[in-house]
Structure 1
Amino acid sequence: MGARRTEGAGIFAMTIHSTHPFADAEPDPARRFRGRVGGAVTLWTAGDDAERAGLTVSSHMVALGSEPTVLALLDPDSDLLEVLRETGRGVVQLLSWADRQLAEAFAGTAPAPGGPFRQAAFVATPYGPRLGSAATWAGVRLAGEREVGWSVEVAAVLEHVELGPDEAGDDPLLHRRGRFHRATP
Structure 2
Amino acid sequence: MTIHGDHPFLPPESERSPVRRLRGRLPSPVGLWTTQYDGKRAGLTVSSMLVADGEPGYVIGLIDPDSDLWETLREARTAVVSLLGGPHQQLADAFGYVAPAPGGPFRMIDWIDTEWGPAPVGVSTWAGCRLVDNDPPEVGWALQVQLELVHVELAADEVVPLIHRRGRYTTL
Q: Which AA in structure 2 matches 1:38?
A: P
Q: Which runs of 5+ in 1 are unaligned?
A: 1-17
**Secondary structure in 1 aligned to 2:130?**
strand
Name the % identity: 48
- Which residue of structure 2 lines up, in the alignment, with residue 9 of structure 1? none
Q: What TM-score do you get using the length of structure 1 for normalisation?
A: 0.84
Amino acid at match of 2:112: V
Q: What is the RMSD computed on CA atoms of the aligned residues?
A: 1.6
In the TM superposition, residue 66 of structure 1 has moved relative to its aligned partner by 2.0
Aligned residue number for residue 8 of structure 1: none
**Aligned counterparts of 2:11 and 2:162: Cα–Cα separation in 1:** 23
**Is the CA contact 1:70–1:156 (under 8 Å) kept in the aligned structure 2?**
yes
Aligned to 2:87, the other structure's residue is in SS state helix
Separation in 1 of the partners of 2:142 and 2:21?
Answer: 17
In structure 2, the residue matched to 1:4 is none
Distance 2:128 2:46 in 1: 15
> How many positions carry a matched residue from both structures?
164
1:118/1:69 CA distance change after superposition, 3 Å: same
**Which amino acid in 1 is paired with 2:86?**
W
**TM-score normalised over the length of structure 2:** 0.90
Residue identity matched to 2:140:
G
User: Residues 48 and 124 of structure 1 are in contact (CA less than 8 Å); yes or no, is this contact kept in structure 2?
Assistant: no
Match of 2:105 in 1: 116
Deviation at 1:155, TM superposition (A): 0.5
Find the counterpart in structure 1 of residue 80 from structure 2.
91
CA contact (8 A) 1:76 1:152 kept: yes
Q: Does 1:181 align with 2:170?
A: yes
Map 1:1-185; keep pairs closer than 5 Å. Answer: 19-23=8-12, 25-47=14-36, 50-144=39-133, 145-165=136-156, 167-169=157-159, 171-183=160-172
After superposition, give the CA deviation of every residue in 1:80-131 in whole Å (9 maximum; x if it has no partner). 0111100100000010100000000000000000000001111100000000
Distance 1:179 1:93 in 2: 19
Secondary structure (helix, strand or coil) at the match of 1:181 reads strand
